[in-house]
Amino acid sequence: MTARVEGGRTRFTVRSPRAEAVWLCLFGDGGERRIAMTRHGEDWAVDLPGELAGARYGFRAEGPWAPERGLWFDPAKLLVDPHAAELDGPFRHDTALAQFGVDTADLVPKARVLPALPDVPPAPPVFAHGGLVYEVNVRGLTMLHPDVPEGQRGTVAALAHPAVIAHLKKLHVSAVELMPIVAWIDERHLPPLHLANAWGYNPVAPMALDPRLCPGGVAELRAAVAALHAAGIGVILDLVFNHTGESDVLGPVLCLRGLDNEAYAHAPGGNLINDTGTGNTLDFGNAAVRALVLDALRHFVRHGGVDGFRFDLATVMARGPGFDPAAPIFAEIAADPWLADRVLIAEPWDIGPGGYQLGQFPANWLEWNDRFRDDVRRFWRGDCGVGVLATRIAGSADVFGKRCRSVNFLAAHDGFTLADTLAFEHRRNWANGEDNRDGHGENFSWNNGAEGPTGDPAVLARRRAFAKAMLGTLFVSTGTIMLTAGDEFGRSQGGNNNAYAQDNAVTWIDWESRDRDLEDHVAALSAWRAAHRERFTAFPEDGAWLGPDNGEMDAARWEDPATTGVRWRHGEPARSFGFAIDRAGPYAEPWEAAAPSGRASGSQPA
């Protein structure tokens, strides 16, 4: 931590190698108190008497204001501590945050000095490869949950509510993956549209918990993690280290920009590199950036007890500027005693040159596999054959080789929900205020006979059948699987496939009207998979691919467009287990031979 309380004193330290002067700013009933800090190499420090736990503070830095040279010093700007763990309020966008000479102390949240935090006793992650990851928008999951007390809805604490945990256990969830809970600021175009960021992928300081989601700070996170661990459920944090909410050259001065703008990647001419589409890109070739990220990761493990991390646009972490599969950050995480055994999941792409790097991350990392999502959708839509499908459900060896590192998913927060994949051929993003230009243009979706909501029973029946078939495909696939919260019971976003700006009923899960039959179907699939989890952790080599008639597949059958289905059988026929998939059904069902008679426990013959 930048503010350390020990031995009856409090020491503040901040890095700002090119500043000419830096002040610590303490805030209390008497207003703001500025204290000059002393340079120590690239750092500035001040040591104060008294253990100031609970005190609110920020920094101001003086130097040239020359954005054309990457210098954004302005002592009128209150700057958030990059190492802050708790803030006294959320960020809110204001044009003054980007205006030189305009004081922002009334706009910028202040960090709180924390006492020395206790370490969570080290323990192996509560998660095993091959399990089910449940992607959660903390606010969206619980805002409308009828059993969660109203004052607790939308917070990390709500995750520990017995009703929420009961639902997770019903689905045999191995770990929840929490979309960002670190403090973020709205993109500047949202307030004029009366919209707000609902996802949190626009952070400012990498370990400062957002007080809207985690008002109890680190203690609230630690308590929720402990409750989930007691239920056998791990916790993975989705973290954004690829950029910050300070955006492009017109963006606000909030933290790193006003202290050390070299944290951001710059082209030779001095322009900000934008490999993220957000206006800036953190420079992982800079050792100070990596040190800050490592501090954040250690903090969440040591003081929050989390089991691992999903890294948004993770290709940025290995850029220098091109992607390097042996980038320093990978070795530094692997060598850290707090981090080496954590679950590490990459979103293996960004929008920069050479940004798609699926399959190129270290051997102990898992990776989101968008090819699984797209090819499964394409198969059920009728665009590709069983050979492509078999490659995906067998672990995508064409991408990962014999290391089973795929995170298979049908839908994620970004894109259509599963239900909308089967109800919309075209996105419906008008409410985002961008003339329906945002979001994915190609979703490999199909509406089954009617665009959007319908009362036609035949269309609804087809949508339900395809939903069950696609979910079955996910749960029989080799690798780790991920389900986005609500897809187990037909959650819709009304065709919005980029609902980041919809902090409302579009992204809040409607628990009262959920499809309980579909939910029970998913629970049964997950129970079957959980009973055989070890079967899904390695590429299958001890079985046989069969056609719908139980005949062995050969090259001609794999390539025949008329082959609409495929089966996989593990082990001997009389004691086997596997699955059957057929687009003509449509169905995708697991089965298990219950006795030497060869009859399966499900509807498919062994």
* 3-state DSSP assignment of residue 266: strand
Radius of gyration of the chain (CA): 25
Q: What torsion do the CA atoms of 558, 560, 564, 569 make, to the nearest 10 degrees?
A: -20
| Catalytic choice (187, 307, 347, 582) | 347
Burial class of 246 by CB neighbour count within 10 A (0 to 12, 13 to 18, 19+): buried
Residue 603 has pLDDT above 80, yes or no: no
For the beta sheet containing 3-6, the strands, ordered from the edge strand earlier in sequence to the opposite edge, are 3-6, 9-15, 43-49, 38-40
At residue 577, the pLDDT reads 84
Active-site residue flag, 42: no
Share the mean pLDDT of the chain.
94
347 is catalytic: yes
The mean pLDDT of 448-456, rounded to a whole number, is 97
Q: What is the pLDDT of residue 447?
A: 98
Least confident of 130-144, 272-286, 467-481, 589-603: 589-603
Which of the two residues, 377 and 562, has the higher pLDDT score?
A: 377
Task: Give 547-553 contacts, CB < 8 A, sequence gap 24+.
Answer: 548/580, 548/582, 550/605
Tokens of 95: 């044009």
Residue 46 pLDDT greater than 90, yes or no: yes
Of 95-104, 243-252, 340-349, 596-605, least confident by mean pLDDT is 596-605
pLDDT of residue 337: 97
Class of domain 3-112: mainly beta
pLDDT score recorded for residue 268 = 86
Interval 401-422 mean pLDDT? 96
In the structure, what pLDDT confidence band is assigned to residue 535 with cuts at 50, 70 and 90? Answer: confident
Q: Give the mean pLDDT of 269-298.
A: 96
Distance CA 60, CA 496 (A): 41
CA 111 – CA 57 distance, rounded (Å): 5
Which sequence spans correspond to the domains of the chain? 3-112, 543-592
Write out pLDDT tens, residues 479-497: 999 999 999 999 999 999 9
Is residue 59 within 8 Å of 24, Cβ to Cβ?
yes
For residue 120, count other CB atoms closer than 10 A to its CB. Answer: 17
Assess whether pLDDT exceeds 60 at residue 125: yes
- Sequence-distant (≥ 6) Cβ neighbours of residue 14 within 8 angstroms: 2, 22, 37, 43, 44, 45, 59, 81, 82, 259
Quote the CA–CA distance of 475 and 526 in Å, as a whole number. Answer: 7
pLDDT at 318 over 90: yes
Closest CA to 235 of 174, 165, 155, 167: 174
Residues 71-108 as b or e (16 or more Cβ within 10 Å = b): bbbbbbbbbbbbbbbbbeeebebbeebbeeeeebeebb
Q: Predicted confidence band at 574 (pLDDT cuts at 50, 70, 90)? A: low
Minimum mean pLDDT range among 253-262, 339-348, 364-373, 591-600 = 591-600
525 near 157, Cβ under 8 Å? Answer: no
If you average pLDDT over residues 569-598, what whole number do you get?
Answer: 76
Rounded to an integer, the average pLDDT of 78-86 is 98
Q: Of 349, 328, 408, whose CA–CA distance to 374 is shortest?
A: 408
pLDDT over 90 percentage in the chain: 89
For residues 216-241, b (16+ Cβ closer than 10 Å) or e, as one string? bbbbbbbbbbebbbeeebbbbbbbbb
Tell me how long the chain is: 606
| Residue 403: predicted pLDDT | 85
* Cβ pair 604, 403 in contact under 8 A: no
pLDDT score, position 64: 95
Give me 212's structure tokens.
């809207």
Among 75-79, 88-92, 214-218, 400-404, which stretch is predicted with the lowest mean pLDDT?
Answer: 400-404
What is the pLDDT at residue 606? 28
- List pLDDT tens digits, range 200-226: 999 999 999 999 999 999 999 999 999
135, 312, 503, 589: the active-site residue: 312
Q: What is the pLDDT of residue 407?
A: 98
Q: How far is CA 121 from the centre of its chain?
A: 25
Q: Are 16 and 260 in contact (CB under 8 A)?
A: yes
What is the per-residue pLDDT across 140-163, written as a single tens digit (0 to 9) for each?
Answer: 999 999 999 999 999 999 999 999
Of the listed ranges 97-111, 153-167, 227-241, 258-272, the least confidently predicted one is 258-272
- The answer to whether the Cα torsion of 569, 571, 574, 577 is positive or negative is negative
pLDDT of residue 594 exceeding 90, the answer is no
Q: Output 6 or 498, whichever has higher pLDDT.
A: 498
Has residue 573 got a pLDDT over 80? no
Whether the pLDDT of residue 270 is over 90: the answer is: no
CA 375 to chain centre: 22
* Cα(466)–Cα(538) distance, integer angstroms: 27
